[in-house]
Structure 1
Amino acid sequence: MGRTIIVGDIHGCFDELLELLAKVDIRPDDLLVSVGDLVDRGPAPGEVVGFFRERPNSVVVMGNHERKHVRGVFSYAQEITRLQLGDRYAETVDWMRTLPYAFENEQVRVVHAAMLPGIPPAEQREEILCGSTRGERELAALFPDGSWYDHYTDAKPVVFGHHVTGPEPMIRDGRIFGLDTGACHGGNLTALCVPGFTVHSVKAHADHWSITKRAWQLPVLKSKPWHDVTWAELEQAVVRFSSADDAAVNRWLEALQAWAGELRSAFPALVAAARRAADGLSTDELRGHPAAQFLFQARNGRLDLTSLARQCSTPRRTVDLAAAFGLALPELPD
């Protein structure tokens, strides 16, 4: 009969995963279970996901990081993962939607973050099981003087991840096993092998999150929807991200700011173009023009720099108006 091998938060640390599974000498009849958080922060989330999807006899529990992708809740780590996965991203998120929030067999329970004692996993709230922000708030309210596992009295052992326990896993009473030992932060990747309840770890090759978030900053910046932010939002972003200690990032932000400045400097030319067109077209022609709103304002003497700037509040609106008048404006920097 095969073992159940439960692995803590992997966070894209594929090389460490392979080393750990070699260390435990995983075999085809062993059930491999992940506590969740396969993705985000590490260098190879696609490879980790692919491994679990392709290996028979494998289970992945929904982690809060998978849930963020499923729900479209994006912070920097999720933006990086989306770029890392590229064309595979949408299909990978569809797969994430199928993940269970808990796993249980005769010997052990596995959740990503927490569970309330005395309640079967199938009856637990998803937010608590996966460690969402809301679930964390609920746990804090229920257990203000400690952690949920301080109150876990169920006989069946429970295994979880989510909160980094340090370089070593947290083991209590042979029933409570916290396996997140911070692999993506340069700590360890840890596995628990059942039924023996033996613990195995491998050292992370590097502080992957520190390396990854720096390496992907420029690609993430370039992927943002700069055409659709307001001028004020664009300026605020430039100021915020310019604090990065990265010359390439700062050069690109300078180019972004210059691009925005060139678009806004085209406002007088756009007003003049609207006035010329309004003077030269019939009323029916004005109605059929893609910039009809601006042309009627120009004809009625109500189009000036202030009113145009109010309406062209984003780069896209400015570029689209220029295109309607056949004026070429600079492209967003590569």
Structure 2
Amino acid sequence: MPATYVIGDIHGALKALQQLLDRIAPEKEDTLVFLGDYVDGWSESAEVITYLMQLEQKHRCIFIKGNHDAWCESWLHGIMPEASWLRNGGQATVSSFNKLSAAELAVHTAFLERMRLYYTDDNNRLFIHAGFTSTHGPAHERFEPMLYWDRSLWELALAVDPRIPKESLRYPRRLKLFREIYIGHTPSVNYGEDMPMVAANVHNVDTGAAFMGKISAMNADTKEVWQSDCVYLLYPNEKGRNA
């Protein structure tokens, strides 16, 4: 039976991404769901995008847009994002993309433009970069950027009392909408964890690749986890987003 692999935040770490996929060894019929934040951090953001475009020629790939990808897309359209972008990995992205030709830049920009804001599969599993605030689901989110910026969904899941049954009127309505929810955006290392975390029915697959952590992947059916090495070990002369 084909597998569905969920891959967390990458942040320009091509070497770690390639290492991770070598360890997973997905079959051609498997689905790879990427949760966003492909750029900003380590030195190979443009190279990550090139690799992902090649990868989708071999596998069924779903690319979710992250907040860093939205920043990069704005910059590629000539709109400089807020000043904090450059301080949060954007400078490395600029340096990486400046190596591309005009034609290559156009192809990379088109790739960012066609990324999905979220994806729901046939098993009622939601894949989204950050979260959503509407109690009717992401399709009803009034402020689209919340889909790649929101952290309240994850904080809500962490705060749910496990003694409250899902059928209870006290159970959060947002969490009842989907059988499972997969997110990135908020590094598990912020909570002292180096593995993906689960709270209620929300799986957080961001394990801090932008900082001192790893890129992680999870089989959405079996919950088996694969990880790269710590990214900073693969880029020993760089700081990522640690500065």
TM-score (norm 2): 0.74
Which one of the candidate residues 56, 59, 62 is aligned to 2:62? 59
Deviations 1:292-321 (A, max 9, x none): xxxxxxxxxxxxxxxxxxxxxxxxxxxxxx
Which one of the candidate residues 153, 172, 177 is aligned to 2:176? 153
SS for the counterpart of 2:176 is coil
Contact kept? 1:20, 1:189, Cα under 8 Å: yes
- Provide the C-alpha distance between the structure 2 equivalents of 1:32 and 1:213, rounded to a whole number of angstroms: 25
SS for the counterpart of 1:83 is helix
Change (3 A) 1:117 1:169: farther
- Provide the C-alpha distance between the structure 1 equivalents of 2:183 and 2:117, rounded to a whole number of angstroms: 11
Q: Indicate whether 1:200 and 2:208 are aligned.
A: no
Aligned length: 204
Deviations 1:213-270 (A, max 9, x none): 69xxxxxxxxxxxxxxxxxxxxxxxxxxxxx9xxxxxxxxxxxxxxxxxxxxxxxxxx
Structure 2 unmatched runs, 5+: 160-171
SS for the counterpart of 1:158 is strand
- Provide the C-alpha distance between the structure 1 equivalents of 2:178 and 2:131, rounded to a whole number of angstroms: 16
Q: CA offset at residue 53 of structure 1?
A: 1.4
- Provide the C-alpha distance between the structure 2 equivalents of 1:25 and 1:100, rounded to a whole number of angstroms: 24
Which residue in 1 is equivalent to 2:199? 172
Deviations 1:64-121 (A, max 9, x none): 0011122331532223212212234454223212111001102321100112364233
Change (3 A) 1:41 1:89: farther
Change (3 A) 1:210 1:130: farther
Change (3 A) 1:40 1:15: same
Q: CA offset at residue 184 of structure 1?
A: 2.6
Contact kept? 1:43, 1:212, Cα under 8 Å: no
Change (3 A) 1:58 1:155: closer
Which one of the candidate residues 120, 127, 130 is aligned to 2:145? 127
What code does the residue aligned with 1:206 have?
Y
Larger-gyration structure (1/2): 1
Change (3 A) 1:195 1:82: same
Which residue in 2 is equivalent to 1:40? 40
- Provide the C-alpha distance between the structure 1 equivalents of 2:240 and 2:12, rounded to a whole number of angstroms: 13
Q: CA offset at residue 38 of structure 1?
A: 0.3
SS for the counterpart of 2:93 is helix
Task: Report % sequence identity.
Answer: 21
State the 4+ residue runs in structure 1 displaced beyond 6 angstroms. Answer: none
RMSD: 2.6
Q: CA offset at residue 20 of structure 1?
A: 1.4
Structure 1 or 2: larger helix share? 1
Structure 1 unmatched runs, 5+: 215-243, 245-334
Which residue in 2 is equivalent to 1:23? 23
Contact kept? 1:7, 1:179, Cα under 8 Å: yes
SS for the counterpart of 1:99 is coil
What code does the residue aligned with 1:163 have?
T
Q: CA offset at residue 148 of structure 1?
A: 3.5
Which residue in 2 is equivalent to 1:163? 186
Which residue in 2 is equivalent to 1:186? 212
SS for the counterpart of 2:215 is strand
Q: CA offset at residue 190 of structure 1?
A: 0.8
Change (3 A) 1:129 1:210: farther
Which one of the candidate residues 87, 97, 102 is aligned to 2:113? 97
Which residue in 1 is equivalent to 2:167? none
- Written as runs of structure 1 = structure 2, the 5 A alignment for 1:1-334 is 1-56=1-56, 57-71=60-74, 72=79, 73=81, 75-76=85-86, 77-86=89-98, 87=100, 88-107=104-123, 108-116=125-133, 118-124=135-141, 125-131=143-149, 135=150, 139=152, 147-149=155-157, 150=159, 151=172, 152-166=175-189, 167-173=194-200, 175-206=201-232, 211-212=238-239
- Provide the C-alpha distance between the structure 1 equivalents of 2:94 and 2:236, rounded to a whole number of angstroms: 15
SS for the counterpart of 2:69 is helix
SS for the counterpart of 1:92 is helix
SS for the counterpart of 1:188 is coil
